[in-house]
Structure 1
């Protein structure tokens, strides 16, 4: 306890000096050894402190040079407003806008701020190719046979082992492989709902989830969220008697990037258990945390198998491999039955290769680099937004994931900005895509999963310039 107290005390002391201006932007901090001697703590403790401060975007490390106070201008930008969707059943899907934006996927002539996946330049492509070759040698018949319905045993064991990091305590028998996370979500919804059922989701929400729920004939109730702490628990409590199922993204929800606090996750798990309503948990972004420790899930607090935990490697390792899974709790037989009907088997070769990649420790090494890159990208984006976007712009402060949410002054319509930016080879994701209601027209999501280059920075500055011109033109037309 004493060590934890010292750890927190030292970290908060440095943070306070940065916020108060005692430690200036760009100033070098004392070395790890110096702080260790000064406070009488171990070098590992000091390293943990610096990692914690890095996760809060207060310091940044420079190889061979040490730790420095981060550029902090962007921290003065206000947070986006909490969402306030109407507690009504919604179905006004912005199909045309969604189709327009996603038609750009794979277009190498565009700067794709709009597509929420990591660039191939950030992925271990050569190592993955080697694993594919190795898997084809190890598997019977070169991986051409059907694998067991529940999925590749090695891969399921690795996912189960990794669940210990967030106190999931899963075994390989608890997990079913799927073709990506969207397939896992789809199987869960098909197994547990019927047309006309009411589903609770966060607002704003990933467009793919909105499209999936409507395609199954479900009625959507959007729940208010805060840009840092996530879903409004009191609102959720008030609508529990009106819903049939929930689908939440507690860890680094796109587009806001918040992480719901553990206390609230526990309360959510207990709430759905109390009402005996199934909760589908999308944890696609859980491994891309900017803090020192992997966050817990709602599934961490599941005592009766009522939570169906879904995830994939699509946002961390290989989007095109379509490797996902679900730990469906007490709904296992329903999910297996539907998987047999809809896909028979997962892809043997790919699942074996990813299982090997996880087993050798290569995945965790890759994740450490990816997390650091994404956090640095967020800081780079935020600095440019603070300096080059219109006065009054607000941004989220993602605690992980791939998304940055930008809220412009009310007069800027990001659906129009999308068309304007596309003329300059820039694609964004307008905020209206992330809701079924009449909201978020002045917001947009930017993907931070692109490799940072001077050219990318210039494109972001150009986007800021275009939004400023748009605001000026609107003011001049009044």
Structure 2
């Protein structure tokens, strides 16, 4: 672990020098051996640092010459600003706007920059279909009978083996299978809260979290969240005495794409453990990293069982399967009892399909290809936005996931812009749906988990023109 932190620390130093233009585009970096002597580390550590920087397209290798600062490292646009701490007030998520965005799914002619659903062309649908046939042939009663309440033992065992990032800290008995990640989060909130309790969430935040919290009668506190490093822990400390539960995405949050550093995750888990406050960790996008290694979830640092680690295949493999899971720590028995009352069990068929996909390495193979496509897409999107959107546009810099968060001119209302864009068959997610306060009206979220083709590029350029005309 120390070695991992060390190479990342060196990579971060070089990254800061690039962004501050101490190292300019085209500058040659010191040799691997020179940096080894400078930092008194192994050659392999420096090589790992360079791999990290290469994966972000900050540096590039030139045969027989060395490493240079890449042209793609020069960002023309600033990152979005961070909002202030928002105390509870009587407001609600804009349900009509959310419904309007979801209804765009019914029209296949719309270019869907709107919802966080991967384009079917990026998913291994043929292989999944073969897996369904195999599962039907192997399942008793072709899967028509009731399965275990906790979920398929085969799937839970494969999830435990596959969760290498946790280094063996979880076994099959630690998992409960759910109907997607939102169902997992809903069950977690049911297990640890009562009506009138207070939940701390990121801001902006995925609108589904707000809707669930409001359904359960919870008071919401939105915490300022940095587009790069995630939730502001100092802001959390100011209101910690009011909080009954936290729900955060520490890895590539939706919609910002922020990644909480390990030091912050450790501090967060210690803080919540001390105050005995449960943390529901939505790690939906953790496997979609652009660097060399998967970032650890907060669950990795949890010794007291307060972190309820939620995941799913909805954003990576098969949205329609509605298959997720939670490792709920000390709240496991309560979650299982709730599931028995609510759904009795999760359908067996899709569980066995995914277990087989995990067991034979097909999921890892798919993720490698998917991550590569997403990273390439993110570069295409960034360059197009920089070239065709207004110069005062601010854009996030995700290190993984599938979203860009854009902050536009203050005079633009993206809810109004949405109506104009959808008439031209272009969809996006207006910023207002990611908060229950009246804010982010000049912001929007773009999904880049699409097949990059001429029509997508042309529609992104047209969206930029619509924004320019709206100023």
Q: TM-score, normalised by structure 1?
A: 0.89
Match of 1:244 in 2: 244
Cα 1:457/1:2, change in 2 over 3 Å: closer
Superposed displacement of residue 36, structure 1: 9.1
Q: Distance in 1 between matches of 2:4 and 2:125?
A: 41
* Inter-CA distance 344–43: structure 2 relative to 1 (3 Å threshold): same
Q: Secondary structure of the residue that 1:317 maps to in structure 2?
A: coil
Aligned to 2:195: 195
CA distance in 2, matches of 1:332, 1:2: 34
| Cross-structure match for 1:24 | 26
CA distance in 2 between partners of 1:6 and 1:108 (Å): 45
Aligned to 2:100: 100
* Cross-structure match for 1:409: 409
Quote how far apart the aligned CAs of 1:42 are. Answer: 10
User: Deviation string for 1:363-395 (max 9, x for gaps)?
Assistant: 111111111111111111111111111121000
RMSD of aligned C-alpha atoms?
2.9
Q: Is the 8 A contact 2:388 2:465 kept in 1?
A: yes
Flag the 1:97–1:179 CA change in 2: closer, same or farther, 3 A: same
Partner of 1:148: 148
Aligned length: 463
Counterpart of 1:327 in structure 2 is: 327
Residue 234 of structure 1 corresponds to which residue in structure 2? 234
Q: Which residue of 2 aligns with 1:468?
A: 468
Instruction: Give the 3-state SS of the residue equivalent to 1:326 in structure 2.
Output: strand
Contact 1:112/1:428 (8 A) holds in 2: yes
Q: Check 1:112–1:138 CA distance in 2 against 1; reply closer, same or farther (3 A cut).
A: same
SS of the residue aligned with 2:293? coil
Contact 2:290 2:375 in 1 (8 A): yes
Quote how far apart the aligned CAs of 1:340 are.
Answer: 0.6
Worse overlay, 372-381 or 70-79? 70-79
**Post-superposition offset of 1:266:** 1.0
Unaligned runs of 5+ in 1: 472-478
Report the Cα distance in structure 1 between the residues aligned to 2:106 and 2:158, rounded to whole angstroms. Answer: 31
Q: Is the 8 A contact 2:403 2:446 kept in 1?
A: yes
Q: Distance in 1 between matches of 2:200 and 2:466?
A: 36
Q: In structure 1, what is the Cα distance between the partners aligned to 2:322 and 2:453? A: 28
- Contact kept? 2:395, 2:404, Cα under 8 Å: yes
| Deviations, residues 231-263 of structure 1 (Å, cap 9, x unaligned) | 110111111110111111111111100111111
Q: 1:378/1:7 Cα in 2 relative to 1: closer, same or farther (>3 Å)?
A: closer
Q: How does 1:290-301 map to 2 (within 5 A)?
A: 290-301=290-301
What is the alpha-carbon distance in structure 1 between the residues aligned to residue 225 and residue 188 of structure 2? 24
> 3-state DSSP class of the match of 1:75?
coil
Counterpart in 2 of 1:112? 112
**Counterpart position of 1:177:** 177
Q: Say if 2:392 is the partner of 1:362.
A: no
Partners of 1:243 and 1:4 in 2: CA distance: 31
Partner of 1:209: 209
Aligned positions of 1:6-25 closer than 5 A? 19=21, 23-24=25-26
Offset from partner CA, 1:406-463 (integer Å, 9 cap, x none): 0001111111110111121101100000000111011000001001112211111100
| Alpha-carbon distance in structure 2 between the residues aligned to 1:208 and 1:216 | 12
For residues 284-320 of structure 1, give each alpha carbon's deviation from its aligned partner in whole angstroms, at most 9, with x where no partner exists.
1111111111111111111111111111011111111
Distance 1:22 1:328, change over 3 A: closer
Which secondary structure does the structure 2 equivalent of 1:127 belong to? Answer: helix
Alpha-carbon shift at residue 20 of structure 1 (Å): 5.2
Write the mapping of 1:42-441 to structure 2, written as runs, cut at 5 A.
48-59=48-59, 70-72=70-72, 75-167=75-167, 169-441=169-441
Structure 2: which 5+ residue stretches go unaligned? none
Any idea what the Cα deviations from partners look like across 1:129-185, whole Å, max 9, x if unmatched? Answer: 111111112221222221111111121112112333244610000000001001101
1:154–1:355 contact (8 Å) kept in structure 2: yes
State the distance in 2 between where 1:269 and 1:182 align: 22
What's the offset of the Cα at 1:47? 6.8
d(CA) in 1 for partners of 2:228, 2:121: 29
**TM-score of the pair, normalised by structure 2:** 0.91
SS state at 2:308 partner? strand
Measured in 1, the distance between the counterparts of 2:7 and 2:229 equals 26
Secondary structure of 2:75's match? helix
Distance 1:251 1:73, change over 3 A: closer
Residues 42 and 342 (structure 1 numbering): CA distance in 2 closer, same or farther, change over 3 Å? Answer: same
CA deviation string 1:2-29 (max 9, x = no partner):
999789768966985795565539x9x9
Does the Cα contact within 8 Å between 2:203 and 2:435 map onto a contact in 1?
A: yes
Pick closer, same or farther for the CA change 1:459–1:272 going to 2, 3 Å: same
Per-residue CA deviation, residues 51-84 of structure 1 (Å, 9 max, x unaligned), is 312332325799xxx9996543761311100121
Partners of 1:338 and 1:4 in 2: how far apart?
40
